[in-house]
Every structure is written in C-alpha cells, then in structure tokens.
A and B are shown apart, each in its own frame.
Chain A
Amino acid sequence: MNHKSLGDRTMLFVFYAAIGLFSLMCVIPMWIALMASFTNELELIRNGYSLWIGNFDLTAYRLIFTGTGSVYRAYGVTIITTILGVILTVFLTSSFAYPLSVKSLKYRNKLAFFCYVTMVFNGGLVPTYILTTRFLHLQNSIWVLIIPAALNGFNVFLMKNYFSTLPEALAESAKIDGASEIYIYFKIILPLSMPILATIGLFAAIGYWNEWFRVLLFINDQQLFTLQFLIMRLQQQAEFLNSSLSAAARAALGGEMVPTIGIRVATAMVSIGPIILLYPFLQKYFIKGLTIGAVKG
C-alpha cells in the first residue's frame, strides 16, 4: 500500500526541495538585514552583508533610540494612525456591510453595486490628489493617513458574506421582542462576528502600519512621517539621515562615521518588529479571511 513508484518518489523529492528552498529564501533576506543591523559599519562596508554578525556593534540602534527623535516620532504617528484607522475601518465596513446582508432591505443590491463599482473603476491619482489637497484641505494632516483608506469594496464584500451566514432567525426574534435594528446590530450581530471583525481589523492594521504612499503625496511636515516613509527617506536621501541626528549624538560619535547603512537596516528591523510579534495571529486570521473569500467568491 505504501509502496510508491520511483516517479512519485522523485516528484515528492522535488516538492520537498523546492518548497524548502523557496521558504528559506523568504526569510534569509530578513536574517541578513538583522545581522547587518548588529554589525559595525566599517566592517559592513569592507566585507558586505553576510549571514553572521561580523563585528558586534549596537551603534545603529543606540543612535535610533537616543540620537534622533525622528524614529520615536514616526513610531508614534504610525501607532496612532494604525489604531484610529483600524477602529474606523471596522466601524465603517461593518455598518455598511450589515444592512447589505439583510434580505428584507429593498435597496440592498443597489447599495452593494454602488460600492463594488469602485473596485473596478476609480478616478486615479490626479483627481484624488486635487480633491484631497484643494477641496478637502487634508494635506499635512494626520487624517489624510487615516480616513481615505478606511473603506474599500473588497472588505465590504468579505464582511457581507460573513453576515449572510448568520441565521436570520436571530434578528427576527429580537425584532419581535421589540429591539431596534441598531440594537440588533450592536448587541447581537457584532458580538457574533468577532472572527471577521478581527480579520478585517488585521487587514487594515497591516495596511496602515505599512503606509507611506499617502505620506509621499500629502505630507511635508516631518512631524507626521510614518515609519515606512522614514525608511524610504533614509534609503533614498543620505543627507536626510545626517540632518535628523541631534548635535549631541554626532558629538557622541566622536570622529567616527555615521553608520548610514546600519541606521537604515536597524530602522527597518524596528519597523517590522511588531509584525513579527503578531505574526501567529496575522497568519491565522489572514488565512481565515482569504479562505472566506475563496470559498464564497
């Protein structure tokens, strides 16, 4: 029974090898960057990136946490936008998606269409840019990082699918007992929908945490830079790094060079720290969310 043909054994070997190799390749760059963040800058320039710490050195992290306020500041901005963004996303998406799942609502399909159209057709960069800067005057405001990303068709679609799986009798019997639709939504539907709320919340959290495009477009004020945008500035403009270091930090470095590479890599590591910590949850809920979409779609 367990005897496998040579062909099948070869195939299995190929699968094991390819999957093993590919998944290793997925984490190795992160490992290399982590090692580089602990390596002395001169050593790094001389020998290049490698799989192991060359000459252990914490200067890069020390500078990030004490020499410049910009990383702390960006961390704060990123955390605030992520928290507010997730709350707003979950509220907007669920309150819009729930009525779409109530079969007695006459215009629910029209509303759904109104929403899904935005998934295949949009105004694009320029009208959005002009709307945001000239009409809503949201440039250089933290809200531009939070509000415009809070609702999208795909999330509505996933959430509506989930609400549709809840038994209708629940809402019906509450209605007979005299509960209003608002009460039903907040006290009955939402508590039963924690899995999908968590999934959409985590989708949104990753999106907000990794946001930099809106900063590039709408924010000039350094006080409102997000972590990811900071990383991009550090990578593309060396002078930005020098200008963000405090005088005290530069004095503390003495004659030593500013660890340009080290600071970039270390900032990247600091920015992905929370993602790695939350990874088990992220993986679980993302797979759940994607599977809802795959099975239903």
Chain B
Amino acid sequence: MQTSVQSSVQSKSKETFLREIMKNRYLYLLTLPGVLFLIVFNYLPMVGLYLSFVDYNPMAGLYGMGSEFVGLDNFEFFFSSGDWVGITFNTLYLNSLFILTGLAVQIFMAVGLNEVAGNKFKKLTQSFMFLPNFLSWTVVSIFSIAIFSTDTGVINGILNALGMESINFYQDASTWPFILVLLKLWKGVGFGTVIYLATISSMDQEMFEAAKIDGASRFQSIIYLTLPMLKTTTIMLLILSVGGIFYGDFGMIFALIGDNPLLRPTTDVIDTYVYRALRMNNDIGMSSAVGLFQAFVGFVLVVSVNAITRKMSKDSALF
C-alpha cells in the first residue's frame, strides 16, 4: 500500500517533469548542445579532481579513475616540499599588485577622459589605449624584448646614451614584478577604463549641474560625486578579481619569460609550477592536488568576499 503511494508521488513529479519537457521540447532541445558541452568540458574535469587523491596510474580503469587511493599524500608532498610558500606568495603578491595598480590607473583614466573637452583627443587616446587589449601575450613578449633586452633594448639604449650602465632585465629577477605590473597595465587599462567610463556617463548629469551652480569646482565634484558613485562598480569588479587572485596569469608569464629559471624567484606562480609539474615531471597526482588547492581557495575567496560585501553594501554584492 505504502509503496504504491510512494510510487504514485514519484510518478507524479516525474509526470510534471516530463510534461514540462514535452511542452517546451523545442526550447529544451535548443539548450541540449550547450548542456552536453558543459557536462563534457566543465563538469567532467571537476570529477577529475578526484585524481588529487590517488596515485595516478593511466592503465587503471577509465580515465585512470581506478588508481590506488592515497588520501592526502599528494597534498602532503606539495606542502612539505617547501615550494608552495614561494609560489603562493608570488601568485598573491603579483595579483595584488595587478589589481590595485589596475584599479587606480583605470579609474584615473576614466575620470580624466570624462573631464577632457576635446572630442578628437578623447577618441584618439581611447583608441590607442584600447588597442593592446587585442594583442596576445606572445606579441607583447616580442615588444617586451624590444624594450627591455640588454643589448638592443630601448631602455638600455637610453641608459647607455646617458652614460649609465645597462640593466640585465632578463637575468635580474628583482626587476620583474615591476615589469610585469607595467606590461599588465599597458595591456589591460584600456579595457577597464571602458567599463568605468560607461558607468560615469550613465550617472545623473543634473547632479553635476547642481553642484556647479552651487559653486563646486570640477575637482570637488570628482572627489565628492564621481568617485563615490563609482563605488558599486569598483567593488563588483574587485570581487571578480579577488576570486581570481589565486590563479596566476600563466599566459602572461609563460609567454614573456618562458622557462627562464633565473627569473623564477619572483615570477614562478602556482600555474607555471603546475604546468612544469605536469609537462616536465609528469607528476599527475601532485599537480592536480595543487590545482584543487587553488580552485578551493579561489572558490572560498569569492564566496567570502561576496558575503562581506553583501553585509557592507548590498548593491555591490555579486550574488
């Protein structure tokens, strides 16, 4: 008796599910390719994170999933090796520099572009700033050699002309945080500026008029009106970037300096380390453990930063 009630409840929910699917079958059919794509390329790799807990053996079952379970051994190996301190520090340090300098320069440029009067000037400079965004890091690395190389680079050319000694940028690790910040700004500022500029131009213009009539200088209206109103956008973009703070920019670092061991002390980030562990040492277990560590911390960061933001100002929270 009971089972028949249970099964009728079950079949009822199944029925509504099926009815909904049948009713909108064409719409669900349209989502099907996308759903399959997400399962294969996004969700299956998540299942693959299980590999962090095994001693990987490619012959053991589908996908190596039958490998021997070793618990946290892979994590222990990574954390006891001592490498993790340096690469975690570099990842966090470089990303913090990128985020903070990017934020400051983007807001400065957006506010400035909004203030300058000449339309031609504005258009031209904005086009120039936006262009590097479309170039890949490999092309940027060609430019970077033109600027920073020891014998032929522009900077050392200038230094020599001034009677100063050359700087061996490509052998001197201490200069790289600065160079990376510079190149990151070079490539990314135009993109961020567009978002801030759009936010500024969507602001209520009457308020600025009123401030002007009340005798506020333009400087004052920037400090007391524009900047405070940029808060929501700024915080939103900040949350997004904090979520990625544990992910090093592999594309940038690998393209710019390749596998140059001299520069590793300041430029080796989690992602370049994982790549090396995977491709050079073929250490599947350890490198996927590092990947999981990274994904987990990144996820916790997004969720907690979002929660804090939600407490402070609800509008700025992402979800």
The residues of A with any CB-CB pair to B shorter than 8 Å are: 4-5, 7-8, 11-12, 15-16, 18-20, 22-27, 29-30, 32-33, 36, 44-45, 47-50, 91-93, 95-96, 98-100, 102, 104-107, 111, 114-115, 118, 120-131, 134-136, 147-148, 150-151, 156, 180-182, 185, 206, 209-213, 216, 228-229, 231-232, 235-236, 261, 264-265, 268, 271-272, 275, 279, 282-283, 286-287, 290-291, 293-295, 297
Give chain B residues whose Cβ lies under 8 Å from the Cβ of A30.
131, 143
Say yes or no: is B304 at the interface (Cβ < 8 Å to chain A): no
Does more than half of chain A's interface fall in helix, strand or loop, or is it mixed?
A: helix
Hey, which chain A residues are within 8 Å of B191, CB to CB?
A: 290
6 contacts between A and B (CB under 8 A): A7-B217, A118-B43, A124-B295, A264-B142, A287-B130, A295-B202
Considering only CB atoms, which chain A residue lies closest to B221 in the complex?
A8
Are A115 and B186 also in contact (CB < 8 A) when A12-B116, A127-B48, A212-B136 are? no
Judge whether B179 is part of the interface by a CB distance below 8 angstroms: no
Taking CB atoms, residues of chain A closer than 8 Å to B127 are: 279, 283
B78 within 8 A of A: no
**Is the beta-carbon distance between B288 and A127 smaller than 8 angstroms?**
yes
A204 and B62 alpha carbons, distance in the complex (Å): 33
Q: Is the CB of B35 within 8 A of A212?
A: no
- Residue-wise, chain B 208-240 has the 8 Å CB interface mask toward A (1 for contact) of 000000000111000000000000010010000
Interface code B130-145, partner A: CB below 8 Å = 1, 0 otherwise? 1111111011011111
Q: How far is the CA of A131 from the CA of B45 in the complex (A)?
A: 7
Q: Give A18 to B125 CA distance when docked, in angstroms.
A: 11
Nearest Cβ on chain B to A31's Cβ, whole angstroms: 10
Q: Contact check, A151 vs B38: say whether CB atoms are below 8 A apart.
A: yes
Given contacts A122-B46, A131-B44, A151-B37, contact A29 B146 (CB under 8 A): yes
* Cross-chain contact of A181 among B27, B111, B116 (Cβ < 8 A): B27
Q: With a CB–CB cut-off of 8 A, which chain A residues contact B26?
A: 180-182
Among A48, A211, A268, the residue within 8 A (CB) of B142 is: A268
CB atoms of B138 and A26 under 8 A apart: no
Structural contact, A123 and B35, CB atoms closer than 8 A: no
Give the chain B neighbours of A150 by CB distance below 8 A. 37
Bound CA–CA A244/B15 (angstroms): 64
Q: How far is the CA of A8 from the CA of B261 in the complex (A)?
A: 50
Q: Are B63 and A131 in contact (CB under 8 A)?
A: yes
Question: Chain B 157-182, CB within 8 Å of chain A: the 1/0 string?
Answer: 10000000000000000000000000
Q: Is B86 in the interface zone, CB < 8 Å from A?
A: no
A126 CB contact (under 8 Å) in B121, B255, B291: B291
Q: Which of A48, A124, A210, A271 makes the CB contact (< 8 A) with B292?
A: A124
A130 to B49, CA, bound (A): 11
CA distance A100 to B274 in the complex (A): 36
Given A15-B115, A22-B129, A130:B51 Cβ within 8 A: yes
Q: Is the CB of A123 within 8 A of B156?
A: no
Q: Are B287 and A125 in contact (CB under 8 A)?
A: yes
Question: Which of B40, B131, B199, B278 has the largest count of A CB atoms less than 10 A from its CB?
Answer: B131
User: CB-nearest residue of chain A relative to B29?
Assistant: A182
Distance in angstroms from B123 CB to nearest chain A CB is 10
In the complex, what residues of B have CB within 8 A of residue A147's CB? 41
**A182–B30 Cα gap in the complex (Å)?**
8
- Closest residue of B by beta carbon distance from A291: B198
Complex CA distance for A107 and B18, rounded to whole angstroms:
12
Nearest CB of chain A from residue B193's CB, rounded to whole Å: 10
Question: When the two chains form the complex, which single residue of B113, B146, B186 contacts A265, counting CB atoms closer than 8 Å?
Answer: B146
Say whether B27 contacts A105, CB under 8 Å: yes
**B45 to A128, Cβ gap below 8 A?**
yes
Q: Are A294 and B233 in contact (CB under 8 A)?
A: yes
Which of B5-13, B89-97, B147-155 is found at the contact surface with chain A? Answer: B147-155
Given known pairs A44-B152, A126-B274, A228-B138, the reply for A15 and B124 (CB within 8 Å) is no
What is the 8 Å Cβ interface bit string for chain B, positions 277-296, against chain A (1 contact, 0 not)? 01000001001100110110
| Nearest Cβ on chain B to A185's Cβ, whole angstroms | 6
The verdict on B195 contacting chain A, using a C-beta distance below 8 Å, is yes
| Chain A residues, CB < 8 A from B41 | 128, 131, 147-148, 151
Residue among A7, A91, A122, A180 with max Cβ neighbours from chain B (10 Å): A122
- Within the complex, the shortest CB–CB distance from A83 to chain B, in Å, comes to 18
With a cutoff of 8 Å between Cβ atoms, the chain B residues found around residue A45 in the complex are 151-152
**CB-nearest residue of chain A relative to B186?**
A26
B271 touches A96 (CB 8 A): no
Tell me the complex Cα distance, A129–B115, Å.
49
A235 touches which one: B29, B121, B138, B271 (CB < 8 A)? B138
Starting from the known contacts A127-B44, A130-B64, 11 additional A-B residue pairs (CB-CB under 8 Å) come to A8-B219, A49-B146, A105-B24, A106-B20, A125-B287, A148-B41, A181-B24, A212-B138, A229-B138, A268-B143, A291-B194
Known contacts A120-B302, A131-B48, A134-B58; is A294 also within 8 Å of B64 by CB? Answer: no
Asked if A33 contacts B142 (CB within 8 A), the reply is yes
The complex places the Cα of A99 from the Cα of B41 at a distance, in Å, of 21
With A26-B129, A29-B143, A33-B146 as given contacts, are A124 and B153 in contact (CB-CB < 8 Å)?
Answer: no
- Least CB distance from A229 to B in Å reads 7
Complex alpha-carbon distance, A112 and B226, angstroms: 34
Collect the chain B residues with CB atoms within 8 Å of residue A134's CB: 58, 63-64
A-B pairs, top 3 by smallest CB distance, nearest first, are A127-B48, A123-B45, A96-B34
Provide the residues of chain B in CB contact with A293, threshold 8 Å.
Answer: 195
Contact assessment for B287 and A126 in the assembled complex, using a CB-CB cutoff below 8 Å: yes
Q: Given A98-B30, A291-B198, is A23 in contact with B146 using a C-beta cutoff of 8 Å?
A: no
Determine whether B42 belongs to the interface, using a CB cutoff of 8 Å to chain A: yes
Q: Contact at A232–B255, with CB atoms within 8 Å? A: yes
